[in-house]
Structure 1
């Protein structure tokens, strides 16, 4: 059984998805989906331990040797990201039974779990496969499921958001597929390791550079890289709150993984460095400042944190742009840490939606008196988002600042710090409203607002505690990210 863990990582949620539909009972479907998620989490932990102890795992489908057959290849980077997807996906799923009650009709809830598991299977498949065309296939599986999940939103604007995401996602997938086709024409293989081995001879080819540009633009659309981010605010705002928490914690992280895999594993760390790295740094910094400034002006808190996600993606892009082992480690740390931050924040917003049905800023006035545990969770996750010491956000931003200074990029280090100060502004404004604001008279005269149920609070506080725990005991993310970054910079596959 241990030999088949790489394929089971994908197969378990993929086969569990149609089983949820056959159950035709929302609670049973949720329990079965949670079981599938927990099994996926156990598998991802086992894979990470196995990779750390024994090195890269290569699994050949149908016993066909690569590059002729399809290979699942688990290295330090993929094992690290598989753990993020399975853990965050499962924790959010634990909150789904309660979280979707107010936002999704009862007769559609079983279908919700089908789509959730399909999306999760697609994301896991992108990371596990060692075949670049299979990356595209799994990307489409996760994307199609995501479009439908977003459309479940109770606001009719969710349909428009899903349609916009569909158009942008299709364009991004097309760009990626064109890039894959161009690389195949140059190398004659779709296996990522084999492609990387054959590519260096042709790095001066215009076709190779064109393929690189197409793939980067396609992935940039998928990960909401500034200024290709316009689909993300509406998607996060109008999707059901549980869907937003899931996407914010996993989907953009997989897109960052794919960007790193293409840049470092296929083309190499030094490919196009003099041109590409400054572009990444500039786009990352623009994303941080523009998105943070726009976030300050938002009246809807889900939209505020959606723009904040664009800014946080900017930090990860900066790390890739600096292009050193230390900066790449900072990006990988922020990949892990941002999943914890945004998972917690959007689950807290799901709790607010469950009780008051809105995430408008005015609804947060005085809300801490009625929902103290939920608001405390937002405060702690918000501090992590800012990068306050003893939270996970501080660790990754510290490494990015150190990497900038180590590379002689003092202005970049200063701008990273200033960008974090913008987060202080909009997080404090929310905290001030919740703890010191006065609720409208019309709101106080209605039925009293209660704290969120345990079905939401327990998964929420698991993530909140993780934001603090991994900010203090940093061994797991630091060791995994350092090993993965060193592995990538050393040219390993």
Structure 2
């Protein structure tokens, strides 16, 4: 018999940050708003860790909202993958809030800073809601909560380009959400239900029909837009480049990862056992898009002079690696994709945090501070920040003893398992492209003199920014050496997802 507390945690993952956000309106002073967001983030992280421990010890947990049993009511369902995602989202969220106090003060107008923390809590609620829900329409609702708050967060960046980037994201994000909900509506036509497990049961018994085929196409395109899967990625570079650095750190580490989770959940739970997808040929359709993204985005990143945009295109390439893992259509391939999803959140979070530290101290405009030439001589002025950037960059490349190496090793092993030797070679070659664009920044910081007239005095970022940065860097090294946590959980999650759905309300009650 489980304790009562873990049984009531699922709705709280959504309710706590969602209810805390409007309370933040009362804290007009930035320091109070920051403190409130930090406390809420710490509470949600504690709940997420408790949930993961519960799921690992007792199996999946199901919660019927309003005591209405599935499929009539909304079911909140937590398995290994969703519990792991909760820890990832809330862990990154807490670090970003702690890191963001100084960064937000320097990059967002004082009158808007409390609004930043409100929108952050709404985004946190939406992201958490997406990974705990067992209802396809409820997922759409949480997706919109997260998306609308993300548009506002991006628009808080300095300059008109931030507004343009937010507007472009809004347009393409709305198209993606529309495609998703149309796909869900078509599945409802076929099955008469919105509960994910119930849809899966109906799909197993339903003959293949045109509505099902079109629904799958709409879902894939809609989720692909949210995921920024090549070639549906055009919104991402400008959104990451012109948003405040704390916003970029949070979204780059969580938003696209949750979109990948949705893709996994839809195709391995909602459509699990559907005759049309039984051969996993749909998964192999992702492979050419994934490989194209890996190479094209990395090549574009090499020629960027804006470091945030360079890292944004790098994210598009890394999304390709994650999609490639799904494309293998095997347990080991899916596990490799999940491993890279987790590891990339830590890698890109550390890189963008290092960029934020530099932006704070370089002291020019937000756009000028992230240009490669502005970083000349920065290795001597900010040695701790640049050392962290180098370590995170090595992890992005995939150097041994880092998380990036672990991800790409398991991707290559999955390719060997399939007999796709050429794909394994392409994984290595695309990783070498990361050496080029990371080296451009390192060369400017360590091997070039500072620009004439620029401040050359040593001035590190404050401890409140360096501590979260180095915690993520340490995680990149730790989980690159001791892989038991990430690899074991990813493999367990992948194995569970390949099991056929056999009934509703599974797990602890």
TM-score, L = length of structure 1 = 0.98
> Hey, what does 2:292 align to over in structure 1?
286
> Hey, what does 1:260 align to over in structure 2?
264
Find the residue that maps to 1:100 and give its secondary structure: helix
User: Are 1:104 and 2:108 counterparts?
Assistant: yes
Listed as ranges, the matches of 1:288-367 within 5 Å are: 288-356=294-362, 357=364, 358-367=369-378
> Hey, what does 1:463 align to over in structure 2?
472
Listed as ranges, the matches of 1:446-457 within 5 Å are: 448=457, 450-457=459-466
C-alpha separation in 2, matches of 1:278 and 1:483 = 22
1:462-489, Cα deviation, whole Å (9 max, x unpaired): 1011100111111111111010000011
C-alpha separation in 2, matches of 1:169 and 1:2 = 34
Give the alignment partner of residue 493 of structure 2, picking from 484, 489, 493: 484
The answer (yes or no) to whether the contact 2:204–2:273 under 8 Å persists in 1 is no
> Hey, what does 2:173 align to over in structure 1?
169
Find the residue that maps to 1:59 and give its secondary structure: strand
C-alpha separation in 2, matches of 1:25 and 1:19 = 13
Listed as ranges, the matches of 1:34-183 within 5 Å are: 34-183=38-187
1:59-97, Cα deviation, whole Å (9 max, x unpaired): 011111111111100011111111111111111111111
Give the alignment partner of residue 239 of structure 1, picking from 224, 236, 243: 243
Q: 1:460 to 1:486 in 2, by over 3 A?
A: same
CA shift, 1:204, in A, is 1.1
- What value does the CA root-mean-square deviation take over the aligned residues? 1.2
Q: 1:101 to 1:305 in 2, by over 3 A?
A: same
Find the residue that maps to 1:388 and give its secondary structure: coil
> Hey, what does 2:406 align to over in structure 1?
395
* 1-10 or 457-466: bigger deviation: 1-10
Listed as ranges, the matches of 1:26-41 within 5 Å are: 26-41=30-45
Which 4+ residue blocks in structure 1 deviate beyond 3 angstroms? 269-275
C-alpha separation in 1, matches of 2:229 and 2:373 = 30
C-alpha separation in 1, matches of 2:6 and 2:330 = 35
C-alpha separation in 2, matches of 1:89 and 1:286 = 31
C-alpha separation in 1, matches of 2:311 and 2:458 = 23
C-alpha separation in 2, matches of 1:278 and 1:470 = 29
C-alpha separation in 2, matches of 1:469 and 1:300 = 30
The answer (yes or no) to whether the contact 2:200–2:273 under 8 Å persists in 1 is no
The answer (yes or no) to whether the contact 1:355–1:449 under 8 Å persists in 2 is no
Any stretches of 5+ residues in structure 1 without a counterpart?
Answer: none
Any stretches of 5+ residues in structure 2 without a counterpart?
Answer: none
C-alpha separation in 2, matches of 1:269 and 1:78 = 20
CA shift, 1:269, in A, is 6.8
CA shift, 1:276, in A, is 2.2
C-alpha separation in 2, matches of 1:322 and 1:274 = 9
C-alpha separation in 2, matches of 1:83 and 1:269 = 29
Give the alignment partner of residue 377 of structure 1, picking from 381, 388, 399: 388
Give the alignment partner of residue 424 of structure 2, picking from 400, 410, 413: 413
Aligned length: 491
Find the residue that maps to 2:457 and give its secondary structure: coil
Find the residue that maps to 1:204 and give its secondary structure: coil
C-alpha separation in 1, matches of 2:21 and 2:327 = 38
> Hey, what does 2:209 align to over in structure 1?
205
CA shift, 1:2, in A, is 2.6
Find the residue that maps to 1:441 and give its secondary structure: coil
C-alpha separation in 2, matches of 1:312 and 1:408 = 22
Find the residue that maps to 2:108 and give its secondary structure: coil
CA shift, 1:268, in A, is 2.2
C-alpha separation in 1, matches of 2:19 and 2:207 = 41
